[in-house]
Chains A and B, each alone.
Chain A
Amino acid sequence: MMTLFQPGHFFYEVWIARGVLLSGLAITVASAASIIAIGLSVGILGGLCLTYAARPIRWVMRAYVDVVRGTPVLVLIFFVFYGTAIIGIDVSPFVAGVLAIGGFCVAHTAETVRGALESIPQAQSDAAKAIGLGFWGRLVHALGPQAVRRALPPWINTAVEMVKGTTLLSLIGVVDLLLAAQQAVSRSFMAMEFYGACLVVYVVICLGISQLGALVERRLAYIRY
C-alpha cells in the first residue's frame, strides 16, 4: 500500500501535483460552463434574429455566423487574445479564450435554433395564429417546445465539442486540465499516465453531457407527429 505513494509512482506524482491538477480541472469545467452559457443565451437570441428579424439585423447575424463557423477555433482564440491586447483592452487569457470559444458556440447554437424553428411545418404557425396568439405567444407556447425537441440532439453535439475545445485555452497560457497535466508530465515524465487520466476525465465530462441530453430527449419523446 505504501509503495503506491512513493516517489516515482503515478499516485505519488498526482498527489504532488494535486493543487495544479485540481485547479486545472476547475478551470476546464468553469470555462466549458461559461462557454455553454454564453452560447445558449446569446445563441438562442441569434437564432431568433436569423429566423424572424428584419433584413439588416438578419444579414448582420448571418454574416457573423458564416464567418465564425468558417474559422478554426484556434484562430478565433488568437484573434481575440492578441486583438484585445493590441487595441489596449486588458483581459486575462481565460476571459479572452472563453469569449472566443463562446462566440464560436453562439454561431453554432444560432444556426441550430434557426434550423429547428424553420423545420417546424408552417401549418403549426398558422394554427397558433388562428387561435389568436401573437408572435411571442406563438413562439413560447406553440413553436418553442417543438423547436427544443428538434434542436436538442445537434446542440448536445455542439456542447460536447465546446468542452473538448477548452483544451485550446492551454495554447494561450490558461492552465486548464490539459496544461496542468502537461506540467505534471514535465516533472514526472509519466506522459501515458497523465494524458491517459486526462482522457478519462474528458470522456466522463462529455459522456455526462450527452447522457443528460439523452435523458431530456427521452422526456421530450412525447412530442411526435
Chain B
Amino acid sequence: MSTTAASANGHDGSLVLSARDIHKRFGDVEVLKGIDIDVAKGEVVALIGASGSGKTTFLRCVNMLEEYQAGTIRVGGEPIGYHEEGGRRLRLPEATVVRQRADIGMVFQSFNLFPHLTARANIMLGLTKVRGKSKAEAGAIADRWLERVGLSDRKDHYPYQLSGGQQQRVAIARAVSMDPRLVLFDEVTSALDPELVGEVLTVMQDLAKSGMTMLVVSHEMLFVSSIATRVVFMDGGRIAEQGPPSEILKNPKSERLRSFLGRFHGVLR
C-alpha cells in the first residue's frame, strides 16, 4: 500500500528505504510490532505519533543504532544489519554495518556535535576518516555546506560557542555532507527554543526541495504539512494510518489519530 502511495505521488518509484514487518523488543516490552514502510527516492516521509509510539526507535533501527529482532530493513536494496543464511538470521559483520551507516545520515534531537571539534571540523571528520577525502577537499565541502546552512561566519566556532539552532544546522550539514542515500531526522527541533526552530526548519525545507530523501520524526505539524510528501501515523508500535498530509492531517480516519491531532488544534486549521 505504501509503494502505491509513493508512485501515486509521482516519484520515480525506486525505493531508497523498504522496511518489512519490523519487530523490536526492549526486554519484555515490544515497542515495534510489525512496521512496514517504503520510502522512494526524493520522498519526504514524516513519522508522527505520541511519545512511546516507536517513531524514534524505528528511526534508530534503520541506522542500526538499535538492534531489531525480526523483519528486514533495506536501504538501496541492501538488507541493513542482518542477513539470512541457511534459514537463520545473522547479524552482518561490524565492518559491513559501519559501511552501511555511512550511507544513512542522521540528525539527532540533542545535536550531538563533537565538542572538541569546530563546526567545520565536525563536518570534515566523516569526509576525511570515512570517505577518505583529502583535508582540502573535505574542507571545501564543509565550507560549501556551512554556507548553505547560513553559518559561513561560524565555521571556526566550537559547539559551545553556538546557539542550539546553529548547532543543529551544523549537525544537519555534517549528516548531508556525506552524501547519504537517506537522511533520518529525529525530532530535530524538540530541544530548541521556539525562536530558533524556524532557522532549522528552513534548512530542512531547502533540503527537501533539492530532492533529498528524508524520513522525519517531528511534532511540528505545520512543517510536516508543508514539506512532507507522506505522513505516517504510528500508534503503539504499529502504523495506524498513512497518506498525503492533506488527507492525514485534515481528515483523520481513526479515533486515535483524531485525538492525537486534537493536541495540535489551532496549528493546523
Contacts and interface: CB of A to CB of B under 8 A. Distances in A.
Interface of A: 121, 123-124, 126-135, 137, 141-142, 145-146, 149, 222-225
21 contacts: A123-B108, A126-B106, A126-B112, A127-B113, A127-B114, A130-B63, A130-B65, A131-B102, A131-B125, A131-B130, A131-B175, A132-B126, A133-B125, A134-B94, A137-B130, A141-B129, A142-B114, A223-B115, A223-B116, A224-B115, A225-B159
Contacts of B178: 131-132
Contacts of A222: 116, 158
B116 A146 contact: yes
Contacts, number: 77
Contacts of A124: 112, 114
A145 B98 contact: no
Interface residues of B, number: 31
B269 to A, nearest CB: 36
Contacts of A131: 101-102, 125-126, 130, 174-175, 178
Contacts of B130: 131-133, 137
> Considering residues B65, B114, B174, which has the most beta carbons from chain A within 10 angstroms of its beta carbon?
B114
Given A132-B98, A137-B130, A127 B158 contact: no
Contacts of A126: 65, 106, 108, 112
Nearest to A137: B129
A131 B3 CA distance: 28
B65 to A, nearest CB: 5
Nearest to B177: A131
Interface string B86-130: 000000001100110111111010101111100000000110011
Nearest to A123: B112
Given A129-B63, A141-B125, 14 more contacts: A121-B112, A127-B108, A129-B65, A130-B101, A130-B106, A130-B108, A131-B102, A131-B130, A133-B98, A134-B94, A134-B98, A145-B116, A225-B115, A225-B160
A132 to B, nearest CB: 3
Interface in B61-79: 63-65
Given A129-B101, A133-B126, A224 B160 contact: yes
Nearest to B113: A127
Nearest to A144: B116
A146 B115 CA distance: 8
Contacts of B103: 132
Which label, helix, strand, loop or mixed, suits the secondary structure of the A interface? helix
B128 to A, nearest CB: 9
B109 to A, nearest CB: 9
B223 to A, nearest CB: 22
> Considering residues A121, A131, A149, which has the most beta carbons from chain B within 10 angstroms of its beta carbon?
A131
Nearest to A131: B126
Contacts of B94: 134-135
A224 B63 CA distance: 27
Contacts of A129: 63-65, 98, 101
A134 B126 CA distance: 11
Listed from nearest, the 3 A-B pairs whose CB atoms lie closest are: A132-B102, A131-B126, A127-B112
Contacts of B114: 124, 127-128, 141-142, 146
A11 B94 CA distance: 67
Contacts of B99: 132
> Considering residues A121, A126, A145, A149, which has the most beta carbons from chain B within 10 angstroms of its beta carbon?
A126
Contacts of B126: 131-133
> Considering residues B101, B110, B116, B125, which has the most beta carbons from chain A within 10 angstroms of its beta carbon?
B116
Nearest to A149: B116
B213 to A, nearest CB: 16
Interface string B162-191: 000000000100110010000000000000
B190 to A, nearest CB: 14
A225 B114 CA distance: 9
